[in-house]
Amino acid sequence: MRRIVAWKRREETKPLLVLFAEREQLDALGVRAAASVLDRFFSLWPAPLTVVLPIAAPIPASLGVATLAVRLPAHPELRDMLARSGPVTGTSLNRSGEPACSDPDAAEALAGGAIDLLVDGGTTPGGLASTLVDATQDPPRLLRAGAFPWPAAR
Protein backbone atom coordinates (compact mmCIF):
# COMPACT_ATOMS: atom_id res chain seq x y z
CA MET A 1 0.00 0.00 0.00
CA ARG A 2 2.82 2.38 0.84
CA ARG A 3 4.38 1.86 -2.61
CA ILE A 4 1.09 2.61 -4.37
CA VAL A 5 0.38 5.69 -2.28
CA ALA A 6 3.94 6.97 -2.77
CA TRP A 7 4.01 6.36 -6.54
CA LYS A 8 0.63 7.99 -7.08
CA ARG A 9 1.64 10.88 -4.79
CA ARG A 10 -1.65 10.26 -3.07
CA GLU A 11 -2.65 11.49 0.38
CA GLU A 12 -1.52 8.88 2.90
CA THR A 13 -4.90 9.06 4.64
CA LYS A 14 -6.92 8.33 1.49
CA PRO A 15 -7.78 4.57 1.47
CA LEU A 16 -7.64 2.45 -1.68
CA LEU A 17 -10.55 0.53 -3.14
CA VAL A 18 -10.68 -3.23 -3.49
CA LEU A 19 -11.98 -5.06 -6.55
CA PHE A 20 -13.77 -8.37 -6.02
CA ALA A 21 -15.62 -10.96 -8.09
CA GLU A 22 -18.00 -12.82 -5.78
CA ARG A 23 -20.20 -11.84 -2.86
CA GLU A 24 -18.50 -14.39 -0.58
CA GLN A 25 -15.21 -12.53 -1.03
CA LEU A 26 -16.66 -9.61 0.95
CA ASP A 27 -16.79 -11.84 4.05
CA ALA A 28 -13.07 -12.54 3.73
CA LEU A 29 -12.45 -8.78 3.58
CA GLY A 30 -14.37 -8.34 6.83
CA VAL A 31 -17.30 -6.45 5.32
CA ARG A 32 -20.05 -6.05 7.91
CA ALA A 33 -23.09 -4.74 6.06
CA ALA A 34 -26.68 -5.88 6.32
CA ALA A 35 -27.83 -8.32 3.63
CA SER A 36 -30.43 -5.76 2.49
CA VAL A 37 -27.68 -3.17 1.91
CA LEU A 38 -25.59 -5.64 -0.06
CA ASP A 39 -28.64 -6.85 -2.01
CA ARG A 40 -29.26 -3.29 -3.21
CA PHE A 41 -25.76 -2.95 -4.63
CA PHE A 42 -25.65 -6.47 -6.06
CA SER A 43 -28.79 -5.56 -8.02
CA LEU A 44 -26.69 -2.80 -9.67
CA TRP A 45 -23.30 -4.50 -10.00
CA PRO A 46 -21.26 -5.20 -12.04
CA ALA A 47 -20.95 -1.50 -12.81
CA PRO A 48 -18.63 1.48 -12.44
CA LEU A 49 -19.96 1.90 -8.90
CA THR A 50 -17.66 1.87 -5.87
CA VAL A 51 -19.35 1.49 -2.49
CA VAL A 52 -17.90 2.25 0.95
CA LEU A 53 -19.00 -0.36 3.50
CA PRO A 54 -18.15 -0.98 7.15
CA ILE A 55 -15.55 -3.63 7.95
CA ALA A 56 -14.89 -5.52 11.17
CA ALA A 57 -11.32 -4.26 11.42
CA PRO A 58 -9.00 -2.17 9.27
CA ILE A 59 -7.06 -3.93 6.51
CA PRO A 60 -4.05 -2.60 4.57
CA ALA A 61 -6.19 -1.12 1.75
CA SER A 62 -8.36 0.77 4.26
CA LEU A 63 -5.25 2.48 5.66
CA GLY A 64 -6.33 2.15 9.27
CA VAL A 65 -10.01 3.00 8.75
CA ALA A 66 -12.88 0.59 9.61
CA THR A 67 -14.54 1.11 6.22
CA LEU A 68 -13.62 -0.22 2.80
CA ALA A 69 -14.46 0.92 -0.72
CA VAL A 70 -15.32 -2.07 -2.92
CA ARG A 71 -16.35 -2.56 -6.54
CA LEU A 72 -17.52 -5.51 -8.61
CA PRO A 73 -16.02 -4.54 -11.99
CA ALA A 74 -17.92 -4.82 -15.25
CA HIS A 75 -14.98 -6.29 -17.20
CA PRO A 76 -15.74 -10.07 -17.44
CA GLU A 77 -12.10 -11.17 -17.81
CA LEU A 78 -11.12 -9.12 -14.76
CA ARG A 79 -13.95 -10.70 -12.74
CA ASP A 80 -12.75 -14.14 -13.85
CA MET A 81 -9.22 -13.33 -12.70
CA LEU A 82 -10.53 -11.99 -9.36
CA ALA A 83 -12.61 -15.14 -8.86
CA ARG A 84 -9.38 -17.14 -9.08
CA SER A 85 -6.98 -14.78 -7.32
CA GLY A 86 -9.26 -13.24 -4.72
CA PRO A 87 -9.86 -9.52 -4.18
CA VAL A 88 -7.12 -7.05 -5.07
CA THR A 89 -6.50 -3.39 -4.52
CA GLY A 90 -7.60 -1.40 -7.53
CA THR A 91 -6.66 2.10 -8.48
CA SER A 92 -6.26 3.93 -11.73
CA LEU A 93 -2.74 4.13 -13.08
CA ASN A 94 -2.02 7.81 -12.82
CA ARG A 95 -0.47 10.24 -10.43
CA SER A 96 -3.07 11.93 -8.23
CA GLY A 97 -4.80 14.72 -10.11
CA GLU A 98 -3.67 13.50 -13.55
CA PRO A 99 -5.81 11.66 -16.10
CA ALA A 100 -5.98 7.87 -15.79
CA CYS A 101 -4.03 5.79 -18.28
CA SER A 102 -6.17 3.45 -20.40
CA ASP A 103 -3.54 1.90 -22.69
CA PRO A 104 -1.40 -0.96 -21.28
CA ASP A 105 1.71 0.05 -23.25
CA ALA A 106 1.42 3.64 -22.05
CA ALA A 107 0.79 2.35 -18.51
CA GLU A 108 3.97 0.31 -18.60
CA ALA A 109 5.94 3.30 -19.87
CA LEU A 110 4.39 5.59 -17.26
CA ALA A 111 4.91 3.26 -14.31
CA GLY A 112 8.32 2.03 -15.37
CA GLY A 113 9.76 -0.25 -12.70
CA ALA A 114 7.19 0.82 -10.10
CA ILE A 115 4.83 -2.09 -10.87
CA ASP A 116 5.59 -5.75 -10.33
CA LEU A 117 3.04 -7.16 -12.76
CA LEU A 118 0.96 -5.72 -15.59
CA VAL A 119 -2.02 -7.75 -16.74
CA ASP A 120 -2.68 -6.63 -20.29
CA GLY A 121 -6.41 -6.78 -20.98
CA GLY A 122 -6.13 -4.38 -23.89
CA THR A 123 -7.01 -0.73 -24.05
CA THR A 124 -9.86 0.21 -21.74
CA PRO A 125 -12.57 2.65 -22.80
CA GLY A 126 -11.42 5.27 -20.30
CA GLY A 127 -13.83 8.03 -19.41
CA LEU A 128 -15.22 9.00 -16.05
CA ALA A 129 -14.06 7.43 -12.81
CA SER A 130 -16.44 5.14 -10.99
CA THR A 131 -19.20 6.70 -8.94
CA LEU A 132 -18.35 6.56 -5.23
CA VAL A 133 -21.13 6.06 -2.66
CA ASP A 134 -20.90 5.86 1.14
CA ALA A 135 -23.23 3.07 2.27
CA THR A 136 -22.21 3.27 5.92
CA GLN A 137 -25.23 5.53 6.33
CA ASP A 138 -28.86 5.34 5.27
CA PRO A 139 -29.61 6.59 2.73
CA PRO A 140 -26.24 6.12 1.03
CA ARG A 141 -24.45 9.39 0.32
CA LEU A 142 -22.82 10.31 -2.98
CA LEU A 143 -19.12 11.04 -2.42
CA ARG A 144 -18.05 11.36 -6.07
CA ALA A 145 -20.19 11.59 -9.17
CA GLY A 146 -18.86 9.39 -11.94
CA ALA A 147 -19.70 6.91 -14.69
CA PHE A 148 -22.64 5.32 -12.86
CA PRO A 149 -25.81 7.43 -12.49
CA TRP A 150 -26.69 8.08 -8.83
CA PRO A 151 -29.14 7.98 -7.22
CA ALA A 152 -29.67 4.52 -8.63
CA ALA A 153 -32.99 3.89 -10.32
CA ARG A 154 -33.54 0.62 -8.45
- Residue 45 clears pLDDT 80, i.e. is over it: yes
Q: What is the pLDDT of residue 40?
A: 96
Q: What is the mean pLDDT of residues 46-55?
A: 97
* Domain membership flag for residue 77: yes
Q: What is the pLDDT of residue 18?
A: 97
* Domain membership flag for residue 128: yes
Residue (of 121, 146, 20) closest to 73 by Cα position: 20
- Residue 83 clears pLDDT 80, i.e. is over it: yes
pLDDT band, very low/low/confident/very high, at 153 (cuts 50, 70, 90): low
Report the domain count for the chain: 1
The residue segments making up the domain with residue 35 are 2-144
CA dihedral sign, ordered 46, 49, 50, 53: negative
* Domain membership flag for residue 62: yes
pLDDT band, very low/low/confident/very high, at 49 (cuts 50, 70, 90): very high
Q: What is the pLDDT of residue 36?
A: 96
pLDDT band, very low/low/confident/very high, at 94 (cuts 50, 70, 90): confident
* Domain membership flag for residue 55: yes
Q: What is the mean pLDDT of residues 50-72?
A: 96
* Domain membership flag for residue 151: no
In CATH, what number is assigned to the domain containing residue 107? Answer: 3.90.870.10
Q: What is the pLDDT of residue 103?
A: 84
Tell me the pLDDT of the chain averaged across its residues.
89
pLDDT tens string 99-127: 777 888 888 888 777 777 777 888 877 77
Q: Alpha-carbon distance 68 to 38, whole Å?
A: 13
* Domain membership flag for residue 8: yes
* Domain membership flag for residue 153: no
Region at 86 (left for phi over 0; alpha for psi -120 to 50; beta for the rest): left
* Domain membership flag for residue 78: yes
